[in-house]
Structure 1
Amino acid sequence: MKRILVLGGGLIGIRHVRAVEAHDGCTLAGLVDPDMNIAPELRRFAAMDEVDVPVDGVIVATPTHLHAQQGIKAAARGWHMLIEKPVAGTMPDAQALEAALVQSTVRSLVGHHRRYHAPVQQLKRELEQGLIGDVINVSLMWAMRKPDTYFEGNWRTAGGSPVMINLVHDIDLLRFAIGEISSSVALRGRSIRGGDRIESGAIAIGFENGATGTISFADTAPSPWGFEAGTGENPNIGVTGQDMMWITGTKGAISFPSLTLWQGSEWSEPAQRVAFEPQKNQKPPLEAQLDHFIDVMNGASPLIDVADGARTLAAAENIERQLMQSDAQPSLCG
């Protein structure tokens, strides 16, 4: 039985707590959060330094800017770690954490849990095996209307860019399924709520394998298109079951998450839909990720470690930087 400590008692942290409690291969060592009113029925610690019980692994589910320093502390104590996305607040922080891990025997995993969706793994596998030939381009859309209360009286008012909160998942999905990102160009959209926060935009992406792609995003526009809406993986977001990513190749095209497959060869003939059965998750991805974290603690290779997670962070940081430097369209407020 692995003894797992959870850092952070927010929405995702409590989901991790419940997953650990329900798992038959681990036990909850406790919850670390400065707000001692959160889950008082658990073994509670206000800070990492107070933890005085045996710990095999730690799940870091705190605000992003704390990930690196807490990960470095965990490595010093010999705790294997699962760190929520993004792996760190900045690339220097991610590199410092990676250096600390290199000097230790601690293993790491980064919480890009979309990699544990069965259809995502199926898509990656089929693309690698040439289901639609050589990938030519990919179009991805993520758009939802976040409630105004999401931004009121907290850090998101100024720093709640959807790039690091949401699109970092999509960027990792593209890296995982299509290939490494070699370049990007980003254009910032208009401000609906006012202020300097990034709300929407468009991104052109180049991949090392020669494919190209686009991402269109907004947290101000209600729509049926987005990973969470399409797959139902987030209990806080309504489910539409609509596709949100479309991929073309030299022998056909496929959309996700339905994995609707089309094949054809000549423009004079319409592409034909081909029967293709998407795989279903055997368990929620967060639980599958916990299974894998236990395996990683036992010596298995991680699906995405800190070094790999840092590459996703670097791509997201580059996009965020371009969006911040881009001239936003005129505000609709006032």
Structure 2
Amino acid sequence: MRETRLDTARIRAARRMIDPVFLDTPLYRCEALEPVLGCAVSIKLETANPVRSFKARGTEVVASLLAEHGSPAVVCASSGNLGQALAWSGRRRGLDVTIVASRFATAAKLDRVRALGATLELVDGDHETARDRAAAIAHRDGIRLVEDSLDIETCEGAATIGLELVDAVPSFDAVLVALGGGALATGVGHVVKASAPDAEVICVQPLGAPAMAHSWRERRVVTTGPVDTIADAVAGRRPIPAVLDDLLLVADDAVLVREASIVTGMRMLLDHAGLVVEPSAALGLAAILEDRERFAGRHVVTIVCGSNVDVDTYHRWVGAAFADESRRCRDD
């Protein structure tokens, strides 16, 4: 039987490199959501930390190893969350950090990267353009390029979420994981399949950024055109072959969801759980909303993976969801 690139012993060792502020995050049944969704829902909350996303679990491992080997600097491309996390982890260890991002990325995320002391270079174009530029900087300056999901440290750092999940929940039927580059999905999936093989690992991606989901379905890398989604944290176009190979081994399904369902999921997390989340963190709820029969009566875990939003934009999104819900109630 083929194995993923991940190693459970390394994942357990990774916990020792990660600042405790990012570990043992809240995991709880959200009973307020259950009558609305028709299934038992547990939330694994990855936003209550200094960078408000799960990404620092991976960057803590990367930065620890770089500092241990005396590396002075590091560069990565990011839509915002990885950049914040690497800036935080690098600053803590005295690394010079450069983040390359699209100038169209969420302004609040870019502001936070700057505030954390990283050098921020903006490029015209999308995240794939930023990836190319970051690779060019690494080659020019002879420094470490961090490639999210390709670098195994990012996957094994994210996999520590899976360790906490299987250790804390005696049984669950499915875990819903946001699917972008694949670090979170392959990391959590690796651990769940090793420890709770009967549980489904279901990856969720927006219809407007479907490259990895299409690649999983066709069992080959599928590159797509321009993305069209509010879920910027998962909006890649060029899947990484090695990451897809891992995903094919651990994912039971890869589903695509509509933008309206993502926004409704964000509104539900605000109304029923008191959580302000970014669109990628609502992908799990969006999947339930679009296929209620599949999850009816089951115990589902959803990973709330980030909460870095532009406040004004967030209010427009959830306000529109509230207005749509009010219209539906009147029509009924």
**How high is the TM-score relative to the length of structure 2?**
0.33
* Larger helix fraction of residues: 2
Which is higher, the Rg of structure 1 or of structure 2? 1
Report the TM-score when normalising by structure 1: 0.32
Structure with greater strand share of residues: 1
